[in-house]
Amino acid sequence: MTTKQYSLAREMFSEWQIDTEAAIAALSDISISMHCWQGDDVVGFEKNSGTSGGGIQATGNHPGRARTPDELRADLESAFSLIPGSHRLNLHAMYFDTDESPDRDAIEYHHFEPWVDWAREQKIGLDFNPTFFAHAKADDNLTLSHPDKGIRDFWIEHGKRSREIAARFGAELQSPCINNIWVPDGYKDIPIDRMAARERLEDSLNEMLTPLHDKSHMLDAVESKLFGIGVEACTVGSHEFYFGYAIRKGTLLCLDMGHFHPTENIADKLSACALSLDEILLHVSRPMRWDSDHVILLNDDIQAMANELVSANLLGRTHIGLDFFDATISRTAAWVIGTRNMQKALLRALLMPLDKLRQAENALDFTTRLTVTEELKDLPYGSVWNEFCARSDVPAGRELIASLDNYQRGVSVRG
């Protein structure tokens, strides 16, 4: 049932020639890939993997961390039930669900099968990531570019198996699985031979990506980075490295919002990269002073990304994934807040009077462009969002807060 509030809002937007119904319909079609690792502080379910390492770090000790696949799935179900629309789960290889203890170079599809059964039941797609960190063979922060061939081969095998598992996910669930490759490789202090390290990474990737998989089942993505803790001087897989690689090899490029200089405008990169790539993967994140992976807010950076996706017509070939982890707050709330913020930003972007703004820009009428974008900020976006939530049978506002609090009370007894 449409509320009075929404009818009024629809009227106000239509005065600007903005169709709220079209925006709601477009938003319902956008699936966001929610990352499993927010649920347990990037720990995973291996019996002997250490802390995350690789220059990434979840901080905090809020009660309620998921310790088992069942706990993680319960938390995910709760989160998904509070997020409007239909979405995906992004799994990391260290989150297998098995009584066996396969090392990274021995993982197989059956170790992950319970996730697929669950995804089928939930009617969601799965994405995947090989895990190149939190492992004794990654302690030097070198994996695919390690000078030791034995170590490189170990990780190449892990990567190949991950791709096979991802392809099977896609086939089973009839939805292409994005397999995103991020390696922590880099040097704390100034290396002598950056070229050799990059050549080794290139060769390892080539070997890892050689087996062909049906693109309707699995798509490879590569994720660049600027620096991490302990790899301040050089990251082997830098932006230039992977941008070139993705173009030459036809993979997706993953742009993580925390993987650039803090003053760089990541939204600006979308159209530039998209001219040379078929598809892009995003890791939407919020870096604070460094790649701190804070929960995303409805802030200017996220809004700029959403605006670009809409105005550059990139929604059809961009996969929106999230990448943040905060252990100081309810982990379920973190997922819900972050995912809903991404959706809210997309809704606002879909409610832009694009024709009018383009016309002004092309006529060099930058005054109109500015006054319109600023006046738009006073329109009742909240009423359209509330309507979207109501139609999706998902709470908003105080009711949402009560649901999140209630769930957190239940999980906070976990040891």
Long-range contacts of 274-278 (CB under 8 A, 24+ apart): 274/312, 274/314, 274/317, 274/318, 276/243, 276/247, 277/246, 277/247, 277/252, 277/253, 278/250, 278/252, 278/317
Exposed/middle/buried for residue 372 (C-beta within 10 Å: 0-12, 13-18, 19+): middle
Q: Which of 137, 259, 319, 344 is catalytic?
A: 259
Binding mask 282-311 for ligand RNT (x = CB under 6 A): -x-------x--------------------
| Angle in degrees, CA 207, 211, 213, rounded to 5 | 140
- In the residue annotation, 256 being an active-site residue is answered as yes
Residues 263-302 as x/- pattern, contact with Zn ion by CB under 5 A: --------------------x-------------------
Figure out which of the listed residues 97, 323, 326, 387 binds Zn ion, where binding follows CB under 5 A. Answer: 323
Other beta carbons less than 10 A from residue 172's beta carbon: 17
Contacted entry of Zn ion, ligand RNT, none for residue 129, CB cut-off 5 to 8 Å set by kind: ligand RNT
User: Is there binding between residue 154 and ligand RNT (CB under 6 A)?
Assistant: no
Helix axes 300-311, 266-274, angle to 10 degrees: 20
- Least distance in angstroms from the C-beta of 36 to Zn ion: 13
Identify which of residues 92 and 319 has a Cβ nearer to ligand RNT in the complex. Answer: 92
Asked if residue 132 lies in contact with residue 171, where contact means CB atoms within 8 angstroms, the answer is no
Binding map of ligand RNT across residues 90-119, x = CB under 6 A, - = no contact: --x---------------------------
Q: Which of 323, 348, 387, 396 binds ligand RNT (CB under 6 A)?
A: 323
Are 225 and 238 in contact, with CB atoms under 8 Å apart?
yes
Which of 46, 97, 202, 223 forms a contact with ligand RNT (CB under 6 A)?
223
Considering only residues 119 through 138, tell me which ones interact with ligand RNT, judged by CB under 6 A. Answer: 129
Instruction: Kindly state the smallest distance separating residue 21's Cβ from ligand RNT, in Å.
Output: 36
111 annotated active-site:
no
Active site residue 146: no
Asked if 259 is an active-site residue, the reply is yes
Catalytic residue flag (residue 283): yes
Q: Between residues 64 and 186, which has the closer beta carbon with respect to ligand RNT?
A: 186
- Residue 323 known to be catalytic: yes
The interface partner of residue 42, options being Zn ion, ligand RNT, none and the CB cut-off 5 to 8 Å by kind, is ligand RNT
* Among positions 256, 279, 308, 326, the unique one binding ligand RNT when judged by CB under 6 A: 256
Instruction: Quote the tokens at residue 113.
Output: 């099968």
Q: Which does 327 bind (CB under 5 to 8 A by kind): ligand RNT, Zn ion, none?
A: none
Residues 205-264 that bind Zn ion (CB under 5 A): 256
- Check if 127 is active-site: no
Calpha distance 5→249 (Å, rounded): 51
Point out the catalytic residue in the list 87, 135, 283, 344. Answer: 283
What does the binding site for ligand RNT look like in residue numbers (CB under 6 A)?
A: 37, 42, 56, 92, 129, 182, 223, 225, 256, 283, 291, 323
Supply the residues annotated as catalytic: 182, 223, 225, 256, 259, 283, 291, 293, 323
